[in-house]
Amino acid sequence: MTLIAVDVRRSPLPRHRLLLALLLLACVPCLALAACEKTLRWDDDPPFSMQADDGAVVGIDVEINRAALARLGCQIKLRKLPWARALKELELGRLDILPGAFRRPEREAYAHFSGPVLPPSRNILFMHPQAMQRWPATRLLELQHTEFRLGAQINVAYGTDYEQLMSDPAFAARVSMVANRSNLWRMVGKGRIDGVIADENTGAYEIQQLGLSDRIKPTAVVVSSDAAEVAISKRSTESDFVQAYSDALRELVVDGSYERIVQRYVKP
């Protein structure tokens, strides 16, 4: 910090105004440090975001965003939100950053997108063993004209095959829509639905944590492998910040920081 010496006796300003001006000058560095704070969505979605035993919120998305924003001189404020609510908060400008979002026309109306900077993560179909035997599918579309019952999260985009199936009223009527994926795993475990789409690493982690590894298995059905992006609220964030943020993410990938963060949570 640069110190400025002022002779208050020779200043043309009245003493009380001069003291106020000096006080404001002294606060400028503090204000600059606190000026950039971005809200980041998290939820119980291991290994991307989760609460550790000590109460700290950790995970791949949390660490990546903390590192990227630090390079921009910003801090993060975490908000725990289910996916559907997070999209609404992003639209209203009460949430700044939403990782793991697919670009959709309706979302582009209220959100900037980072571009596919981070490496893609596959969404696959998980099923209980009896369903796997009954429907040995290799593509999601093969299940369209069957009695297969799918579980999905509200307002989550799973790719083009899923969208095509959901345009079929008969198939859509058999899809159970809920806000929390853990409820979907339990529904599969109880035989109320036949399968769930999830990120392959997230799904394996959550099934193991719920003790359902013997009742739910990963299949070879890859639903999507598109790179998800980061959605950033248009209402709360300027486009020039979005470009700087995307550049910071790209630097994390190039210098190996991204991979080191991932490997702390996902076994090779």
**CB-based contact 101:84 (threshold 8 Å):** no
Q: How many residues does this entry show for the chain?
A: 268
Q: What is the pLDDT of residue 16?
A: 53
The DSSP line for the chain is -------TTT-SS-HHHHHHHHHHHHHHHHHHHHS-EEEEEE-SBTTTBEE-TTS-EESHHHHHHHHHHHHTT-EEEEEE--HHHHHHHHHHTS--EEEEEPP-HHHHTTEEE--S-SPP--EEEEE-HHHHHH---SSGGGGTTS---EEEETT----HHHHHHHTSHHHHTTPEEES-HHHHHHHHHTTSSSEEEEEHHHHHHHHHHTT-TTT-EEEEEEEE-PPPEEEEETTT--HHHHHHHHHHHHHHHHTTHHHHHHHHHS--
pLDDT at 7 over 90: no
pLDDT for 35 beyond 80: no
Sketch out the chain's domains with CATH numbers: 34-120+227-265 (3.40.190.10), 123-224 (3.40.190.10)
Structure confidence by residue, pLDDT tens digits, 154-192: 988 888 999 999 999 999 999 999 988 999 999 999 999
What integer pLDDT is reported at residue 29 of this predicted model?
44
Instruction: Collect all residues with Cβ–Cβ distance below 8 Å to 209 and sequence separation of at least 6.
Output: 46
Over residues 26-49, the mean pLDDT reads 74
Q: Are strands 111-113 and 57-58 parallel, antiparallel or unpaired?
A: unpaired
Residue 174 pLDDT: 95
Residue 268 CB neighbour total at 10 angstroms: 4
CA distances from 195 to 17, 131, 175, 184, 222 (A): 70, 8, 10, 8, 13
Alpha-carbon span 144 to 50, nearest angstrom? 34
Distance between CA atoms of 159 and 237, rounded to whole angstroms?
Answer: 27
For the ranges 5-19, 98-112, 238-252, the lowest mean pLDDT is seen at 5-19
Q: For 126-148, b where at least 16 C-beta lie within 10 A, e where not — what string?
A: bbbeebbeebebeebeebeeeeb
Q: Across all residues in the chain, what is the average pLDDT?
A: 88
pTM exceeds 0.85, yes or no: no
Euclidean distance between CA atoms 204 and 66, whole angstroms: 25
| For residues 43-65, average pLDDT | 93
**Beta-carbon contacts of residue 127 (< 8 Å; ≥ 6 apart):** 135, 188, 194, 195, 216, 217, 219
Choice among 25-34, 84-93, 130-139, 207-216 with the minimum mean pLDDT: 25-34
Backbone angles phi, psi at 133, to 5 degrees: -70, -40
